[in-house]
Structure 1
């Protein structure tokens, strides 16, 4: 073909660029072969609905099933162009439809498109004869009409560009006929029209021309010499012109495919037939098959492969030994039967990228293609996955699959998945292939920190050194990276009205809690804080834990006189008559200690006692009484120094001064209604019995109180839990109950209420007992709650002999107890954030009964 014609064809095809269309959701282009590199094929960006900027951003690329990249993407124009020269005859041989499937892969997100490019044939090949010269020998006595098959020309082009016809140079003896076989191939036949005369013309020179159907048509010529013979006038004849055989592709070497038979009517050497492959049989077929010269048996010389060629067609020549030699031809068709000898292939079109553990169900992980080069059921492939993996295969088209998530992936459970993909065909026996795909799971912040303990309890002594370590909390996070990096902080800014920032500090990196200031048990007995652990993820997750800090008491407070009021280290002047008897009650000193437990147990004693002291003080009650009768030698003013010492280690003490004035005259004895004989005998002999009875009374009250509280707590607990309340709610409510502590060193000094809320519903009791009698006589008269206390605790301004309540220090009356004509007034005050209940003797008016207590108070 001339270069001008080729350029015209290429220009024509470029302007045509046969229209593309979608078939079953696929894109199809048509393009002629032999186009130059860079020639336009189709506007792939437009057909895929992409902008030019998305081509490079989303990494548009081509995955071809062929070894070479015949096409490429013009990223500037978004078009599919020729990557290298395409020869249709090399790619598809003589297949009518030459399709080149392309896989267009787009990433971010991952998508796959199928593009079929049809390569159209151009008339770039001329018909060719296997031999440019041929000699045909014909006996001179051959009658007209005899036909002589000639070698057919081959044209690799297809369609209209394929071989169309044959012609013969002008002569008077021969004409040319074209015979069409069942497979569509055209074979020329030389027909004798006029008897030959060797003596006239022994050799005839002819030209056979093969012409294709292209525009313009192409042709080639074979020169033929016809030699006229005058012997052997019969050619071998085959039983049938075409033989069809079937052979399995796994047949071993030297297996007989079949047998052809030809006969010659001549006798002797002219009738002896010799078989051979046709002279134009390709070399590839000659390597595969062989035919015996005598028997005509066709055998296999090499292993057959259905995947390389499914059928073979060639000619068998039968020649005799006559002179001249005569020959006949038949065509052999061998169909190769496929067997399942190829395992399926698993091709990863796109390798998986790391998968986030919060990826939704249906997320595409990878693109997979299955292929089996066998045919029929042997080539049908089924893909399977390991059953216990959260993935599944989603079919796409033509053995293409998308590996997608089918469940929740959790990095903390499986940081990496090994997915086994098994491909099985449907042949017999079944062949399979397995490939393992590794999928890495990326962490997301989906786990909050977890503390090592549900709560922490810390015990520290008061007056601790600032900067000391209280405790260390520890949390862990199963996430990784920044998602597991924890920081600690204290959530509460204050607790019980105390600013936590001034008392403690937490190391944000390791959770160690330090003290900034010393604790004071008398101010803070326990602190409950919330510590938070927060990770560094986005968004960050956090968890809280409760830290209970209990302050332990130390003996750091000396006793303080609570009653009578102290002025500049001295008690108010007390007056008694010189006529008082031994054992007369002068006054009572009541002291308290802000500490707790043994540190708050107080004992009293007089300092600097003379040889025959007039006064004595009770070690545990602080009552000051006359030890003997007053004499004339006793001075008018008596000075006493009272020491109050606690029971701590080491013990702390304080002193207070008291002056007692001795006066002449007759006054009613203060709060002393005991007869002399009983007083004398009891004061000397039964003090031990008094202490024992007092302790037994306190123990009985404590035991009974404890027993009732246990019953109430058990009933409340059952009610709380049956109503759906949690234990933490119950504990929180319980912590608000009043705790009544009976502090006694012998006779009861005071009742201490610690940690209580006056408005909370706690169980308490109104007790009636005598402080002035030798035998403690008390009973439980009524069960009361804290609200009952508030109802009966009305502010009054009471006064007792020797006491000054002008400042209203004892303003709340809780209750009273009675013995004979004496009443015990129980009053409430607040000292160092604690409620104290004091018990004091108040004489009633004459023989007035105690229920008229208010009228009694009016006279005092």
Structure 2
């Protein structure tokens, strides 16, 4: 007898593992804490603490060894370590308190033989933008003369500080928007305030500006300062409210030659009024004057006119100054007075040269840019049309010109019959596109067709054959061999490009611009199923001449080692290429089939047409109504026998031919008249039967050179075409 009893073996854990800190750098944790962190702030985990023992041996107690200086405690939740501020009354302050705190953490398990580990916490307090800029003087008062000119300094600087660090402590100045804020400019870095525009027109005696001082923190904090500017009046300068301009048309007189009347203003006893001033012009021109007492600006002669094309940029700018009669006299800032001259189309395009010369290589492609001619029209927004006329050329007029740009390009064959340069000569014309009645300007043009394109040398390889040996398992991108070719030409004709033109069946190889033959994809058995495979590539070196020259070299690559089969990257590439080739073949077959079907349809159409045109007409009862050209009711054999019949265009009768023919024997049965009197006469067929009774012929249609019949109603009458009859027929 046999019996079994289960045995339970309880393996007791032995405390043989120390607590392990994870996520540190050489037992040091570096943690950054913002200065606005409080006891209630939940910080992110900074590491892990693990003990591989179980039960009490794996339970861990954490303590801070230097708790007297450490501002934080460490909690462990599911192996994650979290930092927390120790006490609620601890406030972190980057600007005032310590910016760095170091704590030593000790982890001890609860085993009989307690094991422990330590780690260091390096805590950096980071700055928060919690301090606004501080302005030393928030109430600034300055005195300023009302006639102060632009860039006059009002306030040198506004000192301010921000105790935050970095961008949180960087300061910017700006003037808050107000009624007169645009009259002043402030330096954003220093707070320097200067005059921007004259203050003479300001009615108030005091201007209030609010200056905002802000930092670059996010969000930004700011403070403000008040700047009071008191305007001082001691015979202030006269001023103009704004600059003025006038528009006139060129070559057109204006009434009394007057351009404009200007006014200056002055302040007296706090009241602004039109100035009793002396007006002067600040200009070197002598064709424009100003009346000193009235401020009237006019031409020196009443019928004087301006030419827009003679003025720089098509307008005139002169300065105007007003001088008051105070003691001492004050002079106003110079006002800009602008005369805008409106254009009329009074100019023609004029070429910048009287003779243009260009060169082109004889085999340059069509569309090649030969050169450009330029004609200048001084009118505003001109529209110039170009044309070309070749008057002397051995190769014909093989150039074209863009009628809007003047660009000349090649448009035909320039092949030369000899090894000498040939010149084309002619004229180019330019016309005003806005007025085609104006005369055209022209210039001569000579285009030299050069026989030699300077590409005299062919690239030459250092070797005609390059050899290399590689292994099957090389990675893609491996450089197999360098091929080198040289071209003795200079410039672009000597620059060489390389390409593989044959032997690269599956695209496993490539060549770069410097001639390095590379492995593009990892090899597989689609290039060969043996362990040793020889691949021969044909490499072409080609220069960049207008007519490129090239030469070839062989690259023989021996692939050896263990053939990897078709399970790697190259196989997939080969499969894709095979699929592409297969799809391309399918489309080719479909195209061939479509072309064949089309050709067959065309042949069948021609056969049907030929059969229809040559088949005899069946003898049937003619249809009722009017029959057209090919509706022939008479058998073809009958028509053939009557081919010598001739007829008159008269509706009365058919007359027999009279060209020396004798019908006295009346043997020709076709000539016997059988028609009743009054009807059109015609000749009977050999069987002496009436074809049809008929009415007079109708000649509504032109007479063709083949049988034509007409039928009206139920009575029909054949119309037989005329045929030349000779004495031999008689």
How high is the TM-score relative to the length of structure 1? 0.22
Compare CA radii of gyration and give the structure with the larger one: 1
The structure showing larger relative contact order (alpha-carbon pairs under 8 Å, at least 6 residues apart) is: 2
How high is the TM-score relative to the length of structure 2? 0.25
